[in-house]
């Protein structure tokens, strides 16, 4: 990929900033929603009941605006490649090809193929690479989150913070989901891991662990997506969390703010968030919402309204953690458009862009570390410093590292080497955890010919070595659990 930036003649700058008014695209342009009223659209029940879950439902919605070629392409992907099942709320569906005016049969096909949100929410077989569809080092749980579970669903990777996966579902499923191992329904390719504990027991175990682990001060309350947890249960968990003296930061992780803002606009939810935020403020705890959007087209007036409701309810901030994806946003202008749309239109703070993780069948989305570094360079200087997102690589067994922080980089084989300054929860006795390096791998198709040749010769062997390492890690984890 080359990241070129043309100069805008009117400003003389590579990026021509322009404030853009938010618009809710007209959903009646899709034949299946031609009679849907504004009242239906605002209803979270209507939205959830009309999610697109399979090719048949997509066809009923779009009809012959899209050629059979696309539906066949999608069906093949669902059967042979998809790591996530389909689930697209109408709100999110409506942000695809937002300016399309229906013409004749098949008239939307090419625009639909090219659409950035379609590209990550409805991946098709022809999107994926056929040379290296998966990197030899790709794994189902590429960040090894459940290797680091302190209790079921509670990942303790960093010294002072934990990730609480309360539930394994979301109101929408993103094709590139890093938690594809656990989140969503099984697909023909991926049989999902299932939590074994009862939800109440799991949550109780998490709270007990946090009570007896005073060095943890920060909890990301996630899933899945917390919007799928009935509000009274989520509020009860948050209230219990706020009673633990060592917890000083809480972040609620929900892409639904973008994909299903109707959820966060429900009066009972807004009232509940107000109660929790008031309690947090009284106890001197910061509570914020972290959302996930990857493209400017996702930011509509309803998203801005839901964000406003959350800020008015007393949350300290609403921040965005996007994912850097080819075909969606791996371009300086697309990233800056999104950041300005978030800031100007919705008062959402651009925070991180993660490099797409090394999960199976993700190579067509991933970019190299070198390209991520170039993108970071190109987006500097336009946004306020506090709102300039860091592009980060989530390095297996390390955690988030800014893309310029690597220790060494073999650009021929696309292997970057990273260090860390703490032990994860599975390395308490490791002597070299903080002196050794950890690898991250660029997509092979981005490498020079010599590097591609090297992988052609060694890719299979590397894969076996990786499997052996995974088995060794699983035994270590089992031994650690038995020792508890
Ligand atoms: S909302 Fe988050 S957890 Fe859910 S599918 Fe998308 S990326 Fe995965």
Instruction: Tell me the CA–centroid distance for residue 291 and ligand 1, in Å.
Output: 10
Q: Is the pLDDT of residue 461 over 70?
A: no
Ligand 1 center to residue 127 CA distance, Å?
20
pTM of this structure: 0.93
Lowest mean pLDDT among 109-123, 206-220, 470-484: 470-484
Atom of ligand 1 nearest to the CA of 253: 2
Among the residue ranges 229-233, 438-442, 462-466, the one predicted with the least confidence is: 462-466
pLDDT at residue 425, as a whole number: 86
Instruction: Name the pLDDT band for 482 (thresholds 50, 70, 90).
Output: very low
Could you give the CA distance from residue 266 to residue 264 in angstroms, rounded to a whole number? 6
Report the pLDDT value the prediction gives residue 2, as an integer from 0 to 100: 57
Pocket lined around ligand 1, Cβ cut-off 6 Å: 170, 172-174, 177, 179, 183, 224-225, 255, 292
* % of the chain surpassing 70 pLDDT: 94
Atom of ligand 1 minimally distant from the CA of 84: 5
- Section 379-405 average pLDDT: 97
Residue 463 pLDDT more than 60?
A: no
**Which pLDDT belongs to residue 256?**
98
Domain ranges of the chain: 41-127, 146-403
Question: What's the rounded mean pLDDT across residues 385-398?
Answer: 96
Is 408 buried (19+), middle (13-18) or exposed (0-12) by CB count in 10 A?
exposed
CA 183 – ligand 1 centroid, Å: 7
Cα-to-centroid distance, 72 and ligand 1 (Å): 25
Q: What is the pLDDT of residues 425-459, one digit of tens each?
A: 888 888 899 999 999 999 999 999 999 999 999 98
pLDDT tens, 242-260?
A: 999 999 999 999 999 999 9
Digit-coded pLDDT (tens) for 267-305: 999 999 999 999 999 999 999 999 999 999 999 999 999
Q: Which residues of 366-398 are buried (b: 16+ CB within 10 A; e: fewer)?
A: bbbbbbbbbbbebbeebbeeebbbbbbbbbbbb
**DSSP secondary-structure letter at 375?**
H
Protein residue with its CA nearest to atom 3 in ligand 1: 224
**Relative to the CA of 222, which ligand 1 atom is closest?**
3
CA count, 13 A, side-chain hemisphere, 338: 30
Joined together, the tokens standing for residue 383 give 């946004």
d(CA 462, CA 469): 10
More confident position, 26 or 466: 26
Q: How far is the CA of 79 from the centre of ligand 1 (A)?
A: 20
User: pLDDT value at position 477?
Assistant: 46
What's the pLDDT at 410?
A: 98
Comparing 104 with 134, which gets the higher pLDDT?
Answer: 134
Distance CA 168, CA 162 (A): 17
Environment class of residue 346 by beta-carbon count within 10 Å: exposed (0-12), middle (13-18) or buried (19+)?
Answer: buried
List, edge to edge, every strand of the sheet that includes 438-441: 408-410, 415-418, 438-441
Which whole number is the average pLDDT over 165-192?
96
Q: What integer is the mean pLDDT of 76-80?
A: 97
Atom of ligand 1 nearest to the CA of 224: 3
Per-residue pLDDT at 465:
44
245 to each of 154, 192, 285, 379, how far by Cα in Å?
18, 36, 10, 39
pLDDT at position 104: 83
Quote the distance between the C-alpha of residue 182 and its chain's center.
Answer: 14
Structural tokens at position 430: 């490791």
Contacts for 398 with CB less than 8 Å, ≥ 6 apart:
418, 419, 420, 438
How many whole angstroms from 221 Cα to the centroid of ligand 1?
13
Q: How far apart are CA 285 and CA 278, in angstroms?
A: 10
Q: Which of 145, 179, 328, 359 to mutate for ligand 1's pocket (most ligand atoms within 8 Å of CB)?
A: 179
Is residue 399 over pLDDT 70?
yes
- pLDDT, tens only, 311-348: 999 999 999 999 999 999 999 999 999 999 999 999 99
Predicted pLDDT of residue 9: 78
CATH of domain 146-403: 3.20.20.70
pLDDT in tens, 213-222: 999 999 999 9
Interatomic CA distance for residues 127 and 113, integer angstroms: 9
Task: Using the mean position of ligand 1's atoms as its centre, give its distance from the Cα of residue 165 in Å.
Answer: 12
What average pLDDT does the chain have?
93
């Amino acid at each position: 990929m080359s990241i070129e930036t043309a100069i805008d003649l009117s400003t003389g700058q590579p990026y021509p900033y322009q404030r853009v008014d938010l618009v809710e695209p007209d959903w009646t342009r899709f034949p299946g929603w031609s009679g849907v009223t504004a009242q239906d659209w605002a209803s979270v029940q209507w939205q959830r009941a009309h999610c697109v879950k399979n090719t048949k439902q997509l066809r009923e919605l779009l009809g012959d605006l899209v050629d059979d070629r696309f539906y066949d392409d999608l069906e093949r992907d669902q059967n042979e490649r998809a790591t996530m099942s389909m689930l697209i709320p109408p709100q999110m569906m409506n942000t695809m090809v937002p300016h399309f005016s229906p013409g004749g049969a098949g008239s939307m096909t090419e625009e639909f193929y090219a659409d950035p949100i379609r590209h990550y929410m409805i991946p098709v077989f022809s999107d994926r690479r056929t040379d290296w569809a998966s990197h030899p080092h790709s794994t189902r749980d590429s960040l090894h989150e459940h290797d680091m579970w302190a209790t079921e669903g509670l990942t303790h990777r960093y010294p002072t913070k934990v990730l609480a996966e309360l539930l394994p579902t979301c109101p929408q499923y993103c094709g590139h989901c890093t938690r594809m191992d656990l989140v969503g329904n099984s697909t023909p390719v991926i049989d999902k891991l299932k939590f074994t504990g009862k939800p109440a027991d799991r949550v109780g175990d998490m709270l007990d662990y946090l009570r007896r682990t005073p060095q943890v001060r920060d909890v990301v309350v996630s899933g899945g997506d917390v919007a799928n947890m009935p509000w009274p249960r989520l509020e009860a968990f948050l209230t219990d969390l706020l009673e633990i003296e060592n917890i000083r930061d809480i972040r609620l992780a929900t892409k639904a703010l973008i994909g299903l803002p109707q959820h966060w606009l429900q009066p009972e939810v807004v009232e509940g968030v107000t109660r929790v935020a008031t309690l947090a403020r009284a106890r001197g705890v910061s509570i914020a919402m972290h959302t996930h959007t990857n493209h400017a087209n996702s930011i509509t007036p309803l998203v801005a309204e839901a964000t406003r409701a959350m800020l008015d309810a007393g949350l300290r901030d609403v921040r965005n953690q996007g994912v850097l994806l080819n075909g969606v946003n791996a371009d300086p202008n697309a990233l800056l458009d999104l950041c300005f749309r978030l800031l100007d239109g919705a008062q959402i703070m651009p925070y991180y862009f993660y490099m797409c993780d090394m999960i199976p069948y993700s190579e067509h989305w991933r970019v190299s570390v070198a390209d991520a570094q170039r993108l970071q360079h190109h987006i500097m200087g336009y946004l306020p410093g506090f709102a300039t997102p860091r592009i980060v690589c989530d390095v297996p067994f390390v955690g988030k590292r800014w893309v310029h922080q690597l220790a060494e980089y073999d650009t021929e084989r696309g292997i970057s080497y990273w260090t860390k300054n703490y032990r994860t929860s599975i390395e308490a006795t490791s002597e070299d955890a903080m002196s050794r390096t950890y690898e991250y791998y660029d997509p092979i198709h981005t490498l020079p010919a010599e590097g591609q040749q090297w992988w052609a010769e060694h890719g299979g062997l590397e894969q076996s070595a990786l499997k052996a390492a995974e088995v060794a890690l699983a035994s270590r984890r089992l031994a650690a659990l038995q020792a508890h």
